[in-house]
Amino acid sequence: MFTDINITKDSPAYLQIKDYIKEMILNGMLQRGVKLPSTREMSRLMKVSRNTIMTAYGFLEDEGFLYSSKNRGVFVSDININHLNGFNIDWTNKITRLMREAESLDIVKHEIRNSKGMISFQSIAPDEKLFDVDDFKRAFLNRMNIEGNKILSYGYAKGYRPLIEYLIKYMRNKGVNTEGKDILITNGFTEGFDLILSGITEAGDRVICENPTHNTAIKIMKLHGLEIIGVNMEDDGINTQELTEKLQNNNVKLVYLIPSYHNPTGVVMSPEKRLKVFNILNKYEVPVIEDGFNEELRYSGSHVAPIAALCENGNSVMYIGSFSKILFPGLRIGWILADSSLIYSMESLKRSRNIHTSVLDQAVLYQYLLEGNFEKYMRRARKLYKEKYELILAKARENIPCKKIWGEGGLHILIELDGIDSRELLEECIKHGVIFTPGDIFYVNNNGANTLRLGFSRLDNEGIEKGIKIIGEVISNWR
Ligand SMILES: Cc1ncc(COP(=O)(O)O)c(C=O)c1O
């Protein structure tokens, strides 16, 4: 006894010893009243210093597992541990429609995942090699020095005030009139979208979106029981004639749009079309959720203002921003800019669900932004992604026989194949070590069987060239 402990270098030895003894007490190996070896004896058995044993015993006493009796030694406390036979529930019959559907729509579980050594075009997450970890570390230490105690405590549901103020200014710099508007900090776009749908839609409501669109947004709309109406995409954005017809013929609650570097097509809606879309929505008085997730990744050409900038003092646009693609996805920080009274209500919804987004994360991000790191990072990111985009486009044009290549930048392109099912193509490409996302997951009406999305952000040039060549060869040898 006590000699089989395997003390590693991962955590202090006294903690490992404390947990080891605690487990023995909890599983009945050390019964109440049993006397433990003296600290001297235990240190010999476990081959650690006596001090280490004294510290471990001390913590176990604090937690009520041991007690010491003067001149007699240390004993296991009289703790009540009942090991009863529990009963088993068949949880598969107990779960709700929501959870069942979330599970069935979970592509992480149901789509093929890449394995080590494969060339993967699946991800559109940022290239981790770009992360300026040292700048972030500095921001962390600087903010901790300024107000460490405060940012480790509870914060406000609406968000960390300095970050909100920064983002209000940031949105003004995009040409958005923020008068009468406010910001709610969220756990990325995903929570923002879910909060808005929870706040203003009921199951059965009709929602229009681009078709194809962001697969996570489709999943969330389905989980809310919404009726999803897709409108086809054109080279410069959503088809406005179809949008008008669908608005005319349906009682539509809201519209969801991704005007910049649309996922999955990579299309940037032209300024003219943004105006047209905005006027159509005005005419039918339908609010819009504008997803600005990739807006900053503009490589060339002049700045295109978000739709939120068109509504001036109107309040029909709910803009969702996110730092997931333009900075660090692990932070899970995004924001909703919308009408003040709507944000006021949504703040309560957010509080009821998760109190607030981590203050520590928000505060460190704020410090990082404040110190000018974001601008420097974005300059490097744009340059790198532009190179990768130009490479993948050139290589795809050269190697992949297809109907059309969609995409104007961002972190991905979409390929429309000519008479080939992309899932069948995927099966074949996997055999050659290449994986991508079949496009059908982005469609709301089971279309897109002949499309595939190629995310290039995390691949190096060699991977892009090799992967595209393989896809091209597989297609060229098709049947
Ligand atoms: C269209 C779109 N919006 C937003 C996001 C970012 O979501 P989040 O901020 O929850 O990570 C993504 C990520 O892929 C996306 O494709």
53 burial (CB, 10 Å; 0-12 / 13-18 / 19+) is buried
β-bridge partners, 336:
184, 320
CA 60 – ligand 1 centroid, Å: 46
337 and 268 fall within a common domain: yes
User: Is residue 272 a contact partner of residue 224, using CB atoms and an 8 Å limit?
Assistant: no
Residue 287 near residue 318 (C-beta atoms within 8 A): yes
**Is the same domain home to 283 and 135?**
yes
* Residue to mutate (ligand 1; options 191, 214, 361; most atoms within 8 A of CB): 214
Residue 367 and residue 387 share a domain: no
Please give the distance, rounded to the nearest whole angstrom, from the Cα atom of residue 90 to the centre of ligand 1: 35
338, β-bridge pairs: 182
Give burial (CB, 10 Å; 0-12/13-18/19+) of 431: exposed
193 lines ligand 1 (CB under 6 A): no
* Nearest-5° Cα angle at 101, 96 to 102: 100
Domains of the chain: total? 3
Considering the domain architecture, whether residues 363 and 442 belong to the same structural domain is answered as no
Peptide bond into 264 cis (omega under 30): yes
Regarding the beta carbon of 186 and ligand 1, being less than 6 Å apart is answered: no
C-alpha–C-alpha distance, residues 75 and 212, integer Å: 67
Q: How high is the pLDDT of residue 113?
A: 85
Which of 324, 327, 365, 457 to probe ligand 1 with, by most ligand atoms within 8 A of CB?
Answer: 324
For residue 351, give the amino acid letter. R
The residue behind tokens 């041991």 is 66
188, 322 contact by CB (below 8 A): yes
For ligand 1, say whether the CB of 214 is within 6 Å of any of its atoms. yes
Q: What is the whole-number distance in angstroms between the Cα of residue 91 and the centre of ligand 1?
A: 31
Mutate which of 293, 437, 441 for ligand 1? The one with the most ligand atoms within 8 Å of its CB, which is: 293
Tell me how long the chain is. 479
pLDDT, one tens digit per residue, over 14-45 is 999 999 999 999 998 999 999 999 999 999 99
- At residue 337, the pLDDT reads 98
State in Å: Cα 80 to ligand 1 middle.
49
Which residues make beta-bridge pairs with 414? 406, 453
Do residues 325 and 354 lie in contact, with contact meaning Cβ atoms separated by under 8 Å? no
Cα(291) to centroid(ligand 1), Å: 8
Say how many Å lie between the CA of residue 446 and the centre of ligand 1.
22
Atom index in ligand 1 nearest the CA of residue 213 equals 1
**Could you tell me if 29 and 136 lie in one domain?**
no
Q: For residue 233, is it within any domain?
A: yes
Residue 388: give the domain boundaries.
Answer: 111-129+376-476
pLDDT computed for residue 479 by the predictor: 66
The predicted structure's pLDDT at residue 315: 97
- Which atom of ligand 1 is found nearest the CA of 188? 9
Q: Do residues 306 and 167 share a domain?
A: yes
Which run of H or E residues covers position 144? Answer: helix 133-151
In a domain, 6, yes or no: no
Let me know whether 298 and 428 are in one domain. no
Residue found under tokens 């050409």: 301
The segments of the chain whose pLDDT lies below 70 read 479
Quick one: which of 164, 242, 174 has its CA closest to 208? Answer: 242
B/e letters for 236-254, b = 16+ CB within 10 Å, e = fewer, are: bbbbbebbbebbeeeebbb
Same domain, 115 and 160: no
